[in-house]
Amino acid sequence: MSGHSKWASIKHKKAATDAKRGRVFTKLIREISVASRTGGGDPDSNPRLRTAITAAKSINMPADNIKRAVKKGTGELPGAAFEEAVFEGYGPGGVALMMEVATDNRNRTISELRHILTRNGGSMGENGCVSWMFNKKGYIVVPQKGVDEEMLMNLALEAGADDMSEDSGNWEIFSTPKSYTQVLEAVRGADITVETSEIAMIPQSHVGISGKPAQHMLKLMEELEDQEDVQNVYANFDIEEAEMQALTEAR
């Protein structure tokens, strides 16, 4: 899972900076509102909302902001109605891309995504062109330092995880979306540091890229995530660890 996990780690570090500018707040507020609209405003009976609120709290979003977002989603407060959509496409080197958006203007979003992709050596694709390459899973990354593998594996499996693997100094824990919250709570409840966590589209296979395509791919991912309507971007690229580090340090 190296292409996904390395990008997840980069995205996590970038989110800490973006949160200061309010960008991550905006994306999570949209997610909370959409989750409330589609599944109700009670996080106890709405796993998606519970996950979004957990993510919001992890970046210290004020409780009042969370409450307002929930009420806008349930219609108790006025607010823009966001439509969810998933767009598919390709990046440099034939990398598969899935882009989850929440938008109040579908045509504008499609136009902007197409422009970003074209500018960075990618292209939009038809519905279904790459979605078959991904599986929806709970995904939790734990730094290896100071964590016993057997203890963590037993803890995760007992909480409902499906699998655990090693990648670049981290343990990756995978679960079904349904089991994700209880696995995450079990890991955190054991005072284990979580580097990043999400319900994500995990690629079944990867495309190795290097050199200019790798450089362009990272730039493309950053620009897509910076687009205001994009909630999540998933890709199946794989860049060697040393090159990934060099490219990210140079950015």
Instruction: Tell me the two tokens of residue 24.
Output: 């991550």
Collapse the DSSP code of 39 into the 3-class scheme (helix H, G, I; strand E, B; otherwise coil) and give the result.
helix
For residue 110, the model assigns a pLDDT of 96
Distance CA 199, CA 197 (A): 7
Say how many Å lie between the first and final Cα of the chain, rounded.
23
The model's pTM is: 0.81
For CA atoms 71, 75, 81, 84, the dihedral sign is: positive
Q: How far apart are CA 217 and CA 227, in angstroms?
A: 16
pLDDT tens-place string over residues 113-125: 999 999 999 999 9
CA dihedral sign of residues 11, 13, 14, 16: positive
Which tokens is 87 given? 């767009």
Is the Cβ–Cβ distance between 199 and 51 less than 8 Å?
yes
pLDDT tens readout for residues 142-174: 988 889 999 999 999 999 999 998 877 889 999
Q: Helix 106-119 crosses helix 211-226 at what angle (to 10 degrees)?
A: 160
Q: Specify the pLDDT at position 19.
A: 60
For residue 154, what are the CA distances in angstroms to 149, 158, 170, 198? 9, 6, 16, 20
Which pLDDT belongs to residue 5? 56
List the domains of the chain with CATH numbers: 2-74 (1.10.10.200), 83-132+206-245 (3.30.70.980), 133-203 (3.30.70.980)
The 8-class DSSP code of residue 187 comes to: H
Q: What residues contact residue 52 under an 8 Å CB cut-off, 6+ apart?
A: 28, 31, 32, 35
- C-alpha atoms less than 13 angstroms from C-alpha of 182 in its C-beta half-sphere: 13
pLDDT < 70 positions in the chain? 1-21, 251
What is the distance between the alpha carbons of residues 96 and 111, in angstroms, rounded to a whole number?
19
Q: Which amino acid is at 157?
A: L
